[in-house]
């Protein structure tokens, strides 16, 4: 885009975290442009078609390209930090710097955007050379210093089934329900127009918004259903999680275990602002099912309790919600 677009009309399709963030970045860069977000789903909706609210979520990079993917993740990490510290990011700012008091006495409890700092243990069932963590060109974990200096976990610290692990001193956890609502409020405050309507094609959108000079597609897996796109390179990866009450013994860090022997990822993410604890998970490729798999759910609880001792036993967990979502994959 050039400065000539300042007086033109930009239309963003999709109101997940990518769509709303894109609209805010564009609004800040081109304050005179008209910006419209058109979507079937908005924050507060709970549909399997709407991916963002089902995320755990945390900052954890899978990039190892020694290039743009690592840079994207670094920028995201720094922007989250700025938002927690009360600094302006793309013209958006929280009302108060810092976090509320955390129940564990170690970490903060999060801020109004649903963001909070917290350490994490990332463990693996393979040696570091086989985990995909190392950037090929450097032989190092690129975000080592970004998260405060990684530490190798000792043998006595590793949970059952793990052969290697890292202690991340500080990364970010996200209450996605709160964060999405906060992004939407920021968009409204900036005069961005939000339109709730389902469109079967891009051409139908443009017919209703003929002044559009630039259209940005942020529909994710929804692109499969746009008749004039039908991006067949996309496919869903089904994820199943549970939201449980915070245990009596406070959880002072996040836990994540990547397995290469079987296609499961186990994670425990305490959400800030009293958002409970997310337990996951699963990665089931090309599975569109919205139905809860009870056997898988029981397995997730068992795995999470083995990974995070603070949770206690599976029968001790107070289940608040059973969640099923679809990730967009290429």
Closest CA to 255 of 327, 296, 303: 303
Beta-strand pair 235-244/253-258: unpaired
> Which segments are annotated as binding site for FAD?
51-52, 219
Burial 182-191 (b: 16+ CB within 10 A, else e): bbbebbeebe
Q: In what order do the strands lie in the sheet with 34-39?
A: 193-196, 34-39, 9-13, 212-217
Burial of 277 (0-12, 13-18, 19+ CB in 10 A): buried
User: Which DSSP symbol is given to 53?
Assistant: G
> Which segments are annotated as binding site for D-dopa?
267, 327
Q: 41-49 long-range CB contacts below 8 Å, 24 or more apart? A: 41/15, 41/16, 42/15, 42/184, 42/194, 42/196, 43/15, 43/177, 43/180, 43/181, 43/183, 43/184, 44/180, 44/181, 48/290, 48/324, 48/325, 48/326, 49/221, 49/222, 49/326
CA distance 252 to 236: 33
Q: Is 208 left (phi over 0), alpha (psi -120 to 50) or beta?
A: alpha
Helix 176-189 and helix 17-29: axis angle, to 10°?
Answer: 30
Closest CA to 280 of 248, 325, 235: 325
Beta bridge partners of 192: none
> Which segments are annotated as binding site?
51-52, 219, 267, 327
What's the start-to-end Cα distance of the chain, in Å?
26
């Amino acid at each position: 885009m050039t400065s000539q677009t300042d007086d033109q009309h930009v239309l963003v399709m999709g109101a997940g975290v990518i769509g709303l963030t894109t609209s805010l970045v564009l609004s800040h860069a081109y304050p005179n442009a008209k910006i419209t977000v058109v979507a079937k789903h908005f924050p507060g909706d709970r549909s399997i078609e709407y991916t963002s609210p089902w995320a755990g979520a945390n900052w954890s990079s899978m990039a190892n390209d020694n290039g743009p993917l690592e840079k994207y993740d670094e920028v995201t990490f720094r922007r989250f930090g700025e938002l927690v510290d009360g600094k302006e990011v793309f013209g958006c700012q929280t009302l108060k710097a810092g976090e509320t008091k955390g129940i564990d006495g170690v970490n903060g409890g999060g801020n109004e955007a649903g963001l909070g700092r917290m350490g994490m243990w990332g463990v693996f069932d393979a040696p570091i050379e086989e985990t995909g963590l190392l950037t090929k060109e450097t032989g190092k974990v690129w975000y080592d210093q970004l998260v405060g200096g990684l530490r190798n976990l000792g043998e006595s610290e590793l949970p059952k089934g793990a052969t290697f692990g890292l202690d991340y001193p500080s990364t970010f956890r996200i209450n996605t329900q709160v964060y999405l609502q906060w992004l939407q409020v920021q968009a409204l405050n900036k005069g961005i127009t939000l339109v709730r309507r389902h469109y079967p094609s891009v051409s139908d959108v443009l017919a209703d918004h003929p002044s559009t000079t630039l259209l940005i597609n942020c529909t994710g897996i929804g692109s499969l259903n746009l008749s004039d796109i039908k991006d067949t390179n996309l496919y869903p990866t089904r994820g199943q999680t549970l939201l449980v009450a915070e245990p009596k013994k406070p959880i002072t860090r996040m836990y994540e275990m990547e397995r290469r022997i079987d296609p499961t990822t186990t994670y425990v993410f305490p959400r800030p602002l009293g958002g409970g604890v997310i337990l996951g998970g699963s990665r089931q490729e090309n599975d569109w099912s919205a139905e809860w798999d009870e056997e898988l759910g029981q397995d997730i609880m068992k795995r999470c309790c083995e990974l995070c001792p603070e949770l206690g036993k599976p029968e001790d967990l107070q289940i608040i919600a059973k969640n099923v979502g679809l990730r967009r994959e290429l």
